[in-house]
Structure 1
Amino acid sequence: MTTTTPARGRGRTAAVGVAAGAALAVLCAAGTAHAHFYVSLQTYSNVRSAPNTGGGVVVNTGSIKERFYLDGVCYTRGQYIKSGGYGTDVWYHGSVHDSVDLTVGPYNNVWVWGGNVDIGRDPADSVRPC
């Protein structure tokens, strides 16, 4: 049996995407060569070792809203996934941090499917390709 992680819902707070986009725009305007972006992950998201479901699950974000966040550096086009009415082939790369248990992680060099990243549209305009 195959399970997929829940997709971001249509009711996502637009302010999150706008704030993340604004922060990314400032970083990119400043000429940062490798601008990082910081975004929260959806609950029950699988953080993987590759940009596809064949990549091993490094950690699942569990049920606590906004517990995990991605310190991202870039995106790639990987496996297309459709879940909860949303589909994309965009995967974000970086490090995932646990904001509740600081003794856990960070999980470095990992991938998160775009449907599980609170960033707005995929790919976000200000995120560079890997």
Structure 2
Amino acid sequence: MSQRRTRLAAAGLAAGAALTLCATTGTAHAGAAGFYVSLQTNSNVRSAPSTQNVPVLNTGSTRDRYYMDGVCYVHGQPVTAGGYHTDVWYRGTVHDGVDLSKGPYRNVWAWGGNVNVGQDPADSVDLCRN
């Protein structure tokens, strides 16, 4: 009986560690819509990987249901904000899960500092090919 408890406890610890890792590193998740990453609240979505002369198409809600799928990345305009600096921009389709009247925004860009992937560029995201 104690051996079974030990195995169950070990399995529970492993599952808990995996969930904690995903939550803390902001890695990409697999869900019903496929591969996706969450975006920081109030993140801007743009039509190009730059803030210069590129209007904001949408700004995410203040709640954490703003996400992007079909993701790839490029090196674009470097940006520093909130103590974070990167030139990585992610392209994909952005969904606002709070305000369903907005979007989806297809083939749009979000600055790497606003995409929850843990590091830029994320190991699990491919370089954009086109």
TM-score by length of 2: 0.71
Contact persistence 1:16–1:118 (CA under 8 A)? no
Larger relative strand fraction: 2
Q: Which runs of 5+ in 2 are unaligned?
A: 1-19
Deviation at 1:17, TM superposition (A): 5.8
Aligned-partner Cα distance in 2 for 1:69–1:19: 12
> Secondary structure of 1:20's partner?
coil
Match of 1:68 among 44, 47, 66: 66
Larger radius of gyration: 2
Larger relative helix fraction: 2
Moved over 4 A (4+): none
Q: Which runs of 5+ in 1 are unaligned?
A: 1-12, 24-35
1:72-111 matches, cutoff 5 A? 72-111=70-109
Letter of the 1:57 partner, please give it: V
Cα distance change on mapping 1:62 and 1:103 into 2, 3 Å: closer
Deviation at 1:87, TM superposition (A): 0.3
Corresponding residue pairs, total:
105
Deviation at 1:22, TM superposition (A): 7.3
Report the RMSD for the aligned CA atoms in angstroms: 2.1
* 1:56 equivalent in alignment to 2:52: no
Deviation at 1:108, TM superposition (A): 0.6
Cα distance change on mapping 1:49 and 1:17 into 2, 3 Å: farther
Which structure has the higher relative contact order (CA within 8 Å, separation 6+)?
1
1:1-130 matches, cutoff 5 A? 14-16=21-23, 18=25, 20=27, 37-54=35-52, 55-64=54-63, 66-130=64-128
Aligned-partner Cα distance in 2 for 1:19–1:57: 24
> Secondary structure of 1:15's partner?
helix
Percentage of matched positions with identical amino acids:
58
